[in-house]
Amino acid sequence: MATSVNVFDFAEKHPNAHLVLAEYDSREVIPEGEPTRLQVLMRLVNALALPGEYSGMDKRADGAVRLFFAKKRAAKRFADAVFAKATVKEPGWASQSAFAYDQGVRKKIADEVKASRMIALAK
């Protein structure tokens, strides 16, 4: 199962990691009491039980949540789950993909996380 690591420690441990960008409209406000974009995406990482270490940060000024994965397999499985597409790499990343994060995607992720929890409880 994936292990969350502080973003600064992650960068030091994994200088050539895999990046997945969740791009959003930075003017969109998340209602009070709702989980942040980063929290929603981290819940999906956990629900997918991805291998290796990961981290993330929300760069609101850029309108993107940046998720970092130590293992290529984890980055690919996460990218596939959110229908991310390969993009031109920024320097320093082993691979990079991106997807549009909007209310529709947020709902699909929440539904997938809920379904995975129900499956886990049934075991």
42-65 pLDDT per residue, tens: 999 998 989 999 999 999 999 999
- How confident is the model at residue 114, as a pLDDT? 80
CA distances in angstroms from 46 to 14, 20, 29, 52, 117, listed in the order given: 19, 15, 25, 11, 10
The domains of the chain are located at 3-122
- Short-list 100, 24, 17, CA closest to 62: 24
Evaluate if pTM is beyond 0.75.
yes
pLDDT of 117: 65
pLDDT on residue 58: 95
pLDDT of residue 40: 93
Q: Which residues of the chain have pLDDT under 70?
A: 1, 117-123
CA dist 63 → 40, 41, 67, 104, 113 (Å): 15, 15, 13, 17, 23
- Bridge partners (DSSP) listed for residue 64: 23, 59
